[in-house]
Amino acid sequence: MTKILVTRPLPPEVTTQLDGFELTVRPETGPLSDNELRAALREFDGVLPTLGDAFSAHVFADVPDPRCRILANFGVGYNHIDAAAARSAGLVVTNTPGAVTDATADIAMTLMLMSARRAAEGERLVRSGQWKGWHPTQMLGLHLTGKTVGIVGMGRIGQAIARRCHYGFGMKVMYFNRSDKTVEFPIMKTRDLASLAGAVDIMVAAVPGSPETRHLIGADILSAMQPHAHLINISRGDVVEEAALIAALQAKQIGGAGLDVYEFEPAVPSALRALDNAVLLPHLGTAALEVRVDMGLMAVDNLKAFFAGQTPPNTV
């Protein structure tokens, strides 16, 4: 029987759909270790991995004749998998686009509102018992409605964020992207990222993680932002140069930041955690049961199609 490894616990609605396979569900919630990565390639016909399961070129080099034929990634982002090395080793790599779009866009809006309106800081004040009551100049933040948002990366998720901003908050939408995009409402493309940073009240990073996007937003881009502007990151942690962001926030060079991902996740520097002008979420982008079930079922469909001799619907 075909052997499948699921590298993290998933909702039962997902794993029960793999009853036609010899299934192993790894109970640990952390990424595969170096030894486990290599064992997965040697001992299983297919693997359903996820964020942090680092199938690098080195791993494939150490297993020159893998039994595994497919990595059906749980998630749209797959920068933890060296897809070129996988293909060279004879493996197919798939992901789960579409299922994550709206949930991730919703978290972007959550972070935008929390950062602009100082919601996390306000909650900490109430919980501390130090709140003295309402007054007219208490915790004044940035009014989001009618402002200008800049989307860095106008793929599915970037466009979903833009729609929420335009239709829900009457915001002007600008974007930076390799190619031109056409949507059903007005948007304006900028010639470069620095121009976008200097023109917007909120800048949202929504690009895929890759060597090309690592540190895309560094000290130069942060210094181009307006002093009241907020940076939101729902892409991958290393898209933003974390040390540069911490320095900018400490100096109050920008208005604030809302982060769902971190450069060295799950490690979050104490200097970042200490900042009141940073909203920090624990990678909640797709953390809704129905979304995680949809992601899992998409990965299952990729596996089933592959082992039925068909082309998986979401090959990368």
DSSP-derived letter for residue 31 is P
Cβ atoms of 7 and 32 within 8 Å: the answer is yes
Catalytic residue among 26, 163, 214, 283: 283
Whether 283 is catalytic: yes
- Examine residue 266 and say whether the peptide bond preceding it is cis (omega within 30 degrees of 0): yes
Catalytic residue among 230, 236, 242, 263: 236
Would you state the structure tokens that stand for residue 116, as one six-digit string? 């602009």
Parallel, antiparallel, or unpaired: how do β-strands 46-48 and 3-6 relate?
parallel
Q: Which of 209, 211, 207, 217 is nearest to 244 (CA)?
A: 217
Element (H, E) at 231: strand 230-233
Handedness of CA 40, 42, 47, 49 (dihedral sign): positive
Q: Which of 208, 216, 241 is nearest to 83 (CA)?
A: 208
Residue 287 sits at the vertex; the CA angle it makes with 264 and 23, to the nearest 5 degrees, is 90
Residue 148 sits at the vertex; the CA angle it makes with 147 and 150, to the nearest 5 degrees, is 145
Task: Say how far apart CA 110 and CA 280 lie, in whole Å.
Answer: 11
Catalytic residue among 13, 36, 43, 265: 265
Three-state secondary-structure class, residue 103: helix
Q: Which residues contact 154 (CB under 8 A, 6 or more apart)?
A: 162, 175, 177, 181, 187, 206
Task: Tell me which long-range contacts 178-185 makes (C-beta under 8 A, separation of at least 24).
Answer: 181/154, 183/159
Catalytic positions, written as ranges: 236, 265, 283
